[in-house]
Amino acid sequence: MFKRYLLAVSLITQMICGVVAQQTSTPPPPPQQQPQKPDDADVVKITTNLVQVDAVVFDKNGKPVTDLTADEVQVFEDGKPQKVTHFIYSTSGTAPVNRSIKATAPAKTNEVAPPAAPETPKPGNVHRTIAIVVDDLGLSFESISILRRALKTFVDEQIQPGDLVAIIRTAGGAGVLQQFTSDKRQLHAAIERVKYNLMGRADVSAFSAVRPPDLKIPDEQASRVQTAENFREEVFSVGTLGTLRYVVHGLREMPGRKSVLLLSDGLKIFNPGDPNSTDRVQTALESLTDFANRASVVIYTMDARGETPIGLQAQDNMQMSAPVGRPGRGGPIGVTRSVREVDQLMTIRRNSFYESQNGLNYLAQQTGGLAIRNTNDLSGGIQRVLEDQRGYYLIGYRPEESTFDEKSGRRKFHHLSLKVTRPGKYNVRMRNGFFGISDEEARPAERTAAQRLVDSISSPFGSSDVHLQLTSLFANDATNGSFMRSLLHIDMRDLTFKDGPNGTHECVFDVLAMTFGDNGVQVDYTGQTFTLALPDAEYERARRQGLVYNITVPVKKPGAYQFRLALRDTVTDRLGSVNQFIEVPDLGSKRLALSGVVLSGKSITGGAVNSNSHAPAGNAPPIDPEASPALRHLRQLMRLEYGLLVYNASLDKASGKPTLTTQIRLFREGKQVFAGSELPFDPTGQTDLGRLVVGGALDLGTDLAPGEYIFQIIVSDALADKKYRVATQWMDFEIIK
């Protein structure tokens, strides 16, 4: 059966040279967004007619205050009171997750957890947009392991429906913004890339140990070495800020109030002894915070070092090693430093530690975020950040003309503050100010068609002006090695056709496809403009049935990949974009692995069937066009057929055959709705025991309500090492009326 599937896939029109006869249902209209109040669309505005900022208010017990009125607040610009003209309280998150509620337990047979069904995020249903920036340019080896555990807890327990998340490394490359997703598999893949950076600015531990001075290095040379180290640290600090700016730039076009959480071992604003360092880092900080404020991005920071002892430690060596009489280098060899000298060294360490937190404090303070420090509960710190975003006030006023006056060739920085006049004590956090440049002046120039196509493929939201559906599968063959094959279904009713010569109908559109690795770096790219000329019969069929576009991308290395594709109608400039996450196993490890699942449906004639019949593949009627592998729109009383390849199955030494079992499950909304029995796999007729063809079928009954489902297949190898005995793969499909 699977060979028939592969044949069907290979016959799909190559690079849209023709049209595949597939019946498509009318795409559902885009989800209706909840109406927003006029001044809530962009959250923060800085225009010549309106300055609007967001703020959060807490009472003396730390409880959010959500019922203030415009008469109970006062806004000050540079100390001058302003008349509040816009005032609203907006909720941006959902209630915290109850950690006592556990996911549906998997079957005991093979202990494989059910797959999470990733949702395609849309601007109207995103509650929180969160970029977690891991500063691997400034994290110690000690902090990395603790941080990875906290991030895994965040992904597994703290992400909620409607959250759009990215986990980004400051040394991750220019493609970092390709990782905003709600797919937990992709986030876990990003966490696996978080490792200690030997080339970063942080040591293996939180502090460098105190050591006796090196007699071989003269004082002048030691000073030059220290200056070089200071400059190196500043370069990495500015590099961290540059990555943050790039992240903020990507967040700018997303709706609502967004947040960035920077996880670092500290960020120094200046280094002692180098007056220029203050200008370098401070300038980058001020530019970043102003840019973040205009983009409605709140920056939270967390010191990943936790509660750090800054006194004497076991690794410190308090002895001196300089000869007597050498200026500035202490006393005789082997003599322990005096209490005063030790206290001076500890003072330097304390000052360095607090200075390293100043940059983190500044970023949070200037953008209205929180600076979380001196806590070993990193997971709890992330939870505080999430809860802090549940609601905020939008407050606006009409600025004076002088706010945007240019003086001496520079725009003044205007400080903002907020006072609550209601009786009681309150803690207010808001953006601390802005440069006197209006959003109209700062608005970028009109984007070209090519730039809009790139913007569409870079956005975490799938553009839906042109309806697309993407199916990407991993496979491997002996000749070509590993590859990803992607099937793109295009609704041709969304494209513009014009009358062409000889009675044909012409359509011109651009296609841009990119493949990114799990570190956000682009690994493959293709872009082309297509002109499609169809005679009447094929034109009508294309409009009625759609078109399938086939792309095959070779894969040289195992890992996690994201395939993104955008399509643009050149006449109307309408865009469609889709993306899919693919895991490519390391077949060289000789561990059990699976290809992608080819899933389709066929009509069944005869009597009633139910969802609990796990039927073998047989001679079923032809594939229903709408239930093809590219669309997977099935109906009740259809036969769901599946096929895939199993790699690296262990072979029995005596018989030379594998000993495999398979089991299939169905999930809806994260809950298991069907679990088949474990079935032994029959290898009879298999010609390549390194690439076993596995297939089967399941009759869908009337008890499966219309909706989105996840199909999961679990393959168990009784001869493999216990740790690597089980492999699983899944594919989504939909039951329609």
pLDDT exceeding 90 applies to what percent of the chain? 27
pLDDT digits (tens, 9 = 90+) for 138-168: 777 778 888 888 888 888 888 877 778 888 8
**Nearest residue to 424 via CA among 52, 54, 55, 67:** 67
pLDDT digits (tens, 9 = 90+) for 280-306: 677 778 888 888 888 888 899 988 887
State the pLDDT at residue 193: 76
Using the CB atoms, write b or e for 200-226: b if 16+ within 10 Å.
bbbeebbbeebebeeeeeeeeeeeeee
State the pLDDT at residue 391: 83
State the pLDDT at residue 63: 86
Q: Higher model confidence: residue 16 or residue 77?
A: 77
Averaged pLDDT for residues 530-558:
89
What does the alpha-carbon distance between residue 431 and residue 25 come to, in Å, rounded to a whole number?
A: 48
Q: Which domains does the chain have, with CATH numbers?
A: 1-25+447-584 (2.60.40.2550), 125-208+229-315+358-388 (3.40.50.410), 589-737 (2.60.40.1930)
pLDDT for residue 225 is more than 80:
no
- Per the CB < 8 A criterion, the answer to whether 258 and 247 are in contact is no
Measure Cα distances from 663 to 674, 716, 727, 728, 731 in Å.
11, 9, 11, 10, 14
Tokens of 174: 């220019």
pLDDT for residue 227 is more than 70:
no
State the pLDDT at residue 490: 93
Tokens of 524: 């493959």
Residue 256 C-alpha from the chain's centroid? 17
pLDDT digits (tens, 9 = 90+) for 417-455: 999 999 999 989 888 888 888 877 766 667 788 888 887
pLDDT for residue 196 is more than 80:
no
Helix (H) or strand (E) holding 532: strand 522-534
DSSP 399-457: PPGGGG-EETTEEPEEEEEEEE-SSS-EEEEE--EEES--HHHHSPPPPPHHHHHHHHH
pLDDT for residue 611 is more than 70:
no
pLDDT for residue 725 is more than 80:
yes
Tokens of 528: 């082309």
State the pLDDT at residue 271: 53
pLDDT class of 675 with cuts at 50, 70, 90: very high
Residues 6+ apart with CB under 8 A from 35: none
State the pLDDT at residue 53: 87
What is the phi/psi pair of residue 39, to 5°? Answer: -95, 10
Q: ∠171-175-177 over CA atoms, to 5°?
A: 100
What does the alpha-carbon distance between residue 378 and residue 381 come to, in Å, rounded to a whole number?
A: 5
Rg (CA), the chain: 30
Averaged pLDDT for residues 578-594:
89
Query: Quick one: 162 exposed, middle or buried, by C-beta within 10 A (0-12, 13-18, 19+)?
Result: middle
Averaged pLDDT for residues 551-579:
89
Averaged pLDDT for residues 398-406:
85
Averaged pLDDT for residues 486-508:
93
Tokens of 322: 């300089």
* Alpha helices (runs of H) in 164-274, residue ranges in sequence order: 184-192, 219-251
Range scoring the smallest mean pLDDT among 443-447, 530-534, 666-670: 443-447
What does the alpha-carbon distance between residue 311 and residue 631 come to, in Å, rounded to a whole number?
A: 63
To the nearest 10°, the Cα dihedral for 584, 586, 590, 594? -10
pLDDT for residue 133 is more than 60:
yes
pLDDT class of 386 with cuts at 50, 70, 90: confident
Alpha-carbon dihedral sign for residues 332, 336, 341, 342: positive
State the pLDDT at residue 642: 95
What is the phi/psi pair of residue 15, to 5°? Answer: 45, 45
pLDDT for residue 268 is more than 90:
no
- Per the CB < 8 A criterion, the answer to whether 196 and 522 are in contact is no
- Per the CB < 8 A criterion, the answer to whether 228 and 265 are in contact is no
Taking the complete model, does pTM exceed 0.75, yes or no? no
pLDDT exceeding 70 applies to what percent of the chain? 71
Averaged pLDDT for residues 686-714:
92
The 10 Å Cβ neighbour count of residue 74 is 15
pLDDT for residue 494 is more than 60:
yes
Query: Quick one: 491 exposed, middle or buried, by C-beta within 10 A (0-12, 13-18, 19+)?
Result: buried
DSSP category for residue 596: P
pLDDT for residue 224 is more than 80:
no
Residues 6+ apart with CB under 8 A from 379: 149, 150, 153, 154, 158
State the pLDDT at residue 319: 60
Averaged pLDDT for residues 17-22:
30
Q: Hunting for tokens 């009508």 — which residue is that?
A: 540
- Per the CB < 8 A criterion, the answer to whether 74 and 83 are in contact is no
If you average pLDDT over every residue of the chain, what do you get?
76
Averaged pLDDT for residues 560-583:
88
- Per the CB < 8 A criterion, the answer to whether 709 and 94 are in contact is no
To the nearest 10°, the Cα dihedral for 172, 176, 182, 188? -10
State the pLDDT at residue 239: 67
What does the alpha-carbon distance between residue 189 and residue 178 come to, in Å, rounded to a whole number?
A: 13
Which residue type does 103 have?
A
What does the alpha-carbon distance between residue 87 and residue 42 come to, in Å, rounded to a whole number?
A: 14
Averaged pLDDT for residues 556-578:
89
| Range from 210-214, 396-400, 618-622 that averages highest in pLDDT | 396-400
Residues 6+ apart with CB under 8 A from 247: 131, 133, 166, 168, 176, 177, 260
3-state secondary structure of 336: strand
- Adjacent-strand bridge partners of 529: 510
- Per the CB < 8 A criterion, the answer to whether 54 and 431 are in contact is yes
371-372 and 297-303 strand pairing = parallel
pLDDT for residue 673 is more than 50:
yes
State the pLDDT at residue 339: 67
Averaged pLDDT for residues 569-583:
88
3-state secondary structure of 674: strand
* Alpha helices (runs of H) in 471-582, residue ranges in sequence order: 536-545
What does the alpha-carbon distance between residue 428 and residue 76 come to, in Å, rounded to a whole number?
A: 13
Alpha-carbon dihedral sign for residues 399, 400, 404, 409: negative
Q: Hunting for tokens 């390194």 — which residue is that?
A: 690
Which residue type does 659 have?
T
- Per the CB < 8 A criterion, the answer to whether 251 and 129 are in contact is yes
- Per the CB < 8 A criterion, the answer to whether 209 and 221 are in contact is no
pLDDT class of 258 with cuts at 50, 70, 90: confident
What does the alpha-carbon distance between residue 598 and residue 582 come to, in Å, rounded to a whole number?
A: 14
Range scoring the smallest mean pLDDT among 103-117, 472-486, 531-545, 599-613: 103-117
3-state secondary structure of 66: coil
Q: Higher model confidence: residue 56 or residue 386?
A: 56
The residue length of the chain stands at 737
What does the alpha-carbon distance between residue 359 and residue 366 come to, in Å, rounded to a whole number?
A: 11
Measure Cα distances from 411 to 406, 416, 624 in Å.
5, 16, 65
pLDDT class of 96 with cuts at 50, 70, 90: very low
Residues 6+ apart with CB under 8 A from 71: 421
- Adjacent-strand bridge partners of 710: 667, 732
pLDDT for residue 334 is more than 70:
no
Residues 6+ apart with CB under 8 A from 339: none
Q: Hunting for tokens 């970092």 — which residue is that?
A: 176
Alpha-carbon dihedral sign for residues 613, 615, 620, 623: positive
258-264 and 128-134 strand pairing = parallel
| Half-sphere exposure (Cβ direction) of 694: Cα atoms closer than 13 Å | 30
pLDDT class of 252 with cuts at 50, 70, 90: confident
What does the alpha-carbon distance between residue 575 and residue 570 come to, in Å, rounded to a whole number?
A: 9
